[in-house]
Amino acid sequence: MRKLYNSIKDINPKTRNWKVKVVVAEKTMTRTSMQSPTKYMRLILADSQGNKVQVVIFNQREIDMFDHLLHIIRTYYIHNAIVKPIKPEHRIVDNVYQWTINATTLIEEISNDDSSLSAPSFSFVPFVELHKHMDYSALVDVIAVAIDVCPARQLQTRNGSSTIQEVILIDQLLKPIILTMWDQFVTNESAAIAQIITTRPVIMAIRLKVVSHNGKLFSKKNKILA
């Protein structure tokens, strides 16, 4: 019988026959590894205490298996994912371990509202305060309405050529900001936004870097939720 743990922090590579209740806080679209043609999807799970863990699913077959099961803001029991250390440069959340979900991982959705976990909270930065974060290493979260998607174009960088695409966002004061997508974000998130741009979707963008370039320009770092 699997032991139910209350905290993500209780789970380490030596833990056996475990399960923990979590909510899906973040979920990316499918990505291709920079070092190989391997496909992967990344998620962030959170527990009732606010602890978070980075989770990855590899290979298109298993991504397809879990993509329609794991949904943002829904609560699940996760049983026996693979737990391994993750290098500091690859960490998104404050956890030294990363979980890998594969075909042997058991996932149970919790549909009882009384048992569901609260949705994670975000500290959105108003557009009028973005100048305080300009050109600093700190990353910010914003929520805004997407009103236009510019054509994609190539940009030469020190590391070669990159594809970028700019999305125009406005806040409740109709103040515009440019959100710049890079490479795979152009292929995935930007393309998804372009398909629904006529509906003026509300976009939640997290872990953005604010840089100075002809005004305020967002450099996309992690993910978009539309």
Q: DSSP letter string over the chain?
A: -PEEES-GGG--TT--SEEEEEEEEEEPPPEE-SSSS-EEEEEEEE-TTS-EEEEEEESHHHHHHHHTT--TT-EEEEE--EEEE--GGG-SSS-SEEEE--TT-EEEE---GGGPPPPPP--BPPGGGGGGGTTSS--EEEEEEEEEEPPPEEEEETTEEEEEEEEEEE-TT--EEEEEEETHHIIIIIHHHHHTGGG--EEEEEEEEEEESSSEEEEP-SEEE-
pLDDT digits (tens, 9 = 90+) for 152-201: 999 888 878 889 999 999 998 898 889 999 888 898 889 999 999 999 99
Q: Would you say the pTM of this structure is higher than 0.75?
A: yes
Domains of the chain plus CATH, in order, are 3-115 (2.40.50.140), 127-225 (2.40.50.140)
Distance CA 145, CA 140 (A): 16
**Half-sphere CA count of 56, side-chain side, radius 13 A:** 17
Distance CA 165, CA 192 (A): 12
Amino acid at 85: P
pLDDT in tens, the chain (226 residues): 678 888 999 999 999 999 999 999 999 888 888 777 889 999 999 999 999 999 999 999 999 999 989 999 899 999 989 999 999 988 999 999 999 999 999 999 988 655 667 777 778 899 888 888 886 677 888 999 999 999 999 988 887 888 999 999 999 889 888 999 988 889 888 999 999 999 999 988 888 888 876 544 455 544 444 4
Do 9 and 51 touch, CB atoms closer than 8 A? yes
Which of 208, 219, 226, 145 is CA-nearest to residue 182?
Answer: 219
Task: Tell me the chain's radius of gyration from C-alpha atoms.
Answer: 19
